[in-house]
Chains A and B, each alone.
Chain A
Amino acid sequence: MEIKTHKQVSNSKGAFIFKKILEDKKAIHEHLLHGGKLSDLKDQYKFANPVSFIRNR
């Protein structure tokens, strides 16, 4: 196992990406917290299908 660390700083591109990831994460978390299912959100987000990657052995 290899573990490396980068010290990073803010920038417009990275900031946009990371903010978007956190926003998506929070929105999905709230949805699940209130009893929703991921399938309810399939038109808003592109979820990977677990079966598809198991079959890609």
Chain B
Amino acid sequence: MQTPYPLSEIDNYSFGFTTDQQVTYIAYFLEYGYMFYDYPDFAADTYTFNIDIVSGNADAALNDDRIGITIVEILRLFFNRIQNVVVYVCDMSDERHMARKRKFDWWFWKYSDGSIIKEDGVAVIEDVQILNSLLVHKDNPHLTAIILAYKDLNDGADEK
């Protein structure tokens, strides 16, 4: 059975790992309390999750399953604190966001242990689709309210 790559803590703000192909990733969480500022029960526990490549050629590691295993392990660690809420937004800087989303979904489906619930969304802003996902621990005491808040974030289209 494959194992996650060893994680290193980088300057107190992120996890890093380097693949067998010498591609180095960092993963970090940003506080986004104002995302759900109308919901004080969980606003302060809300973060975005980001993955970046800081060195190496990503194409060299396309079929490396250990990357997905490691990303899911990072999420598992983050959800040791079950109150945490994560929104993952796919990078839209190029035309590969659909592929990124599929890869993230595949990793999550394949390697998650079932403790994290994932809800997917598509925000259409100025004719651009922004693919995003909500991740929340299944035992979060505010689970239902969080999911509803996530939907409300996007469903209030007429609130100009």
Shortest Cβ distance from B99 into chain A, in angstroms?
Answer: 17
Tell me if A56 and B80 are in contact (CB < 8 A).
yes
Tell me if A1 and B112 are in contact (CB < 8 A).
yes
B4-15 CB mask vs A (1 if < 8 Å, else 0) is 000001111111
A14 partner residues in chain B, CB cutoff 8 A: 123, 125, 153-154, 156
Shortest Cβ distance from A42 into chain B, in angstroms?
Answer: 7
Tell me if A48 and B29 are in contact (CB < 8 A).
yes
Tell me if B80 and A53 are in contact (CB < 8 A).
yes
Q: Contact size class for A?
A: 35 or more
Q: Is B64 an interface residue (CB 8 A)?
A: no
Q: Which of A30-48 contact B (CB under 8 A)?
A: 32-33, 37-39, 42, 45-48
Q: Contact size class for B?
A: 35 or more
Shortest Cβ distance from A57 into chain B, in angstroms?
Answer: 5
Tell me if A28 and B109 are in contact (CB < 8 A).
no
Q: Is B87 an interface residue (CB 8 A)?
A: yes
Listed A/B pairs (12) with beta-carbon separation below 8 Å: A1-B112, A3-B120, A5-B120, A10-B123, A21-B32, A22-B89, A22-B130, A45-B30, A46-B30, A47-B30, A53-B29, A57-B80
Tell me if A39 and B159 are in contact (CB < 8 A).
no
A1 partner residues in chain B, CB cutoff 8 A: 108-109, 112-114, 116-118
CA distance A2 to B109 in the complex (A): 9
Tell me if A32 and B26 are in contact (CB < 8 A).
yes
Q: Which of A1, A4, A38, A42 has the most CB of B within 10 A?
A: A1
Tell me if B92 and A38 are in contact (CB < 8 A).
no
B12 partner residues in chain A, CB cutoff 8 A: 39, 47, 49-51
